[in-house]
A and B are shown apart, each in its own frame.
Chain A
Amino acid sequence: DIQMTQSPSSLSASVGDRVTFTCRASQSISNYLNWYQQKPGKAPKLLIYAASSLQSGVPSRFSGSGSGTDFTLTIGSLQPEDFATYYCQQCYSAPWTFGQGTKVEI
């Protein structure tokens, strides 16, 4: 199985900050990488697919990059509604696997 490792596991930030966190795959997955946002008590929401494509309706302050084994998610200017947990997920080969998440806290 492909293992997905996210770092950091949590980070503290302030409104307006630019934040970046990473996801690393245990083998090359090309750009078969999606990012999801999850708020407490809610289902995850798709933000980025194919490593860098913004899902419809998602604010442009979110961006993704990377290919192969290393990927990043950047929030250009953190907003109050962005405090949540972010998960990466590979869809290169089944079983599809998620990272352990990065929690963005105030």
Chain B
Amino acid sequence: QVTLKESGPVLVKPTETLTLTCTVSGFSLTTGVMGVSWIRQPPGKALDWLAHIFSNDDKSYSTSLKSRLTISKDTSKSQVVLIMTNMDPVDTATYYCARIVGGERPLFDYWGQGTLVAVSS
């Protein structure tokens, strides 16, 4: 059974650094063409793709946020970590992680429940 679960702070202050963890089960972060993406959704707004990391450690980032994001994985813990620096109130959103099935036509087939992060002083 594939599951993903996001964890992290519910509230951060402006200029602080956000660290989110996605703990996965039911699949491996080391084999095949699997990966994990982070996607966020501000309240009442659309989905916004942030970053991904594949089993071969291939990474990619949102163009507009690239300077603020770092994605990594700890295969021993089955975790993918997203770090976002210099948080701003506009970064208030629900943050999701999702499994990527890569290969010829990548897709997100399993999602976590999401974690709401508010940015406020």
Contacts and interface: CB of A to CB of B under 8 A. Distances in A.
A22 interface: no
Interface residues of A, number: 24
A43 B112 contact: yes
Given A43-B113, A44-B47, A95 B63 contact: yes
Q: How large is the interface on B (under 10, 10 to 19, 20 to 34, 35 or more residues)?
A: 20 to 34
Contacts of A44: 47, 96, 98, 108, 111
Interface stretch (A13-21, A71-79, A96-104): A96-104
Interface of B: 37, 39, 46-49, 52, 60-63, 96, 98, 105-109, 111-114
Interface of A: 1, 31-32, 34, 36, 38, 43-46, 49-50, 55, 87, 89, 91, 94-101
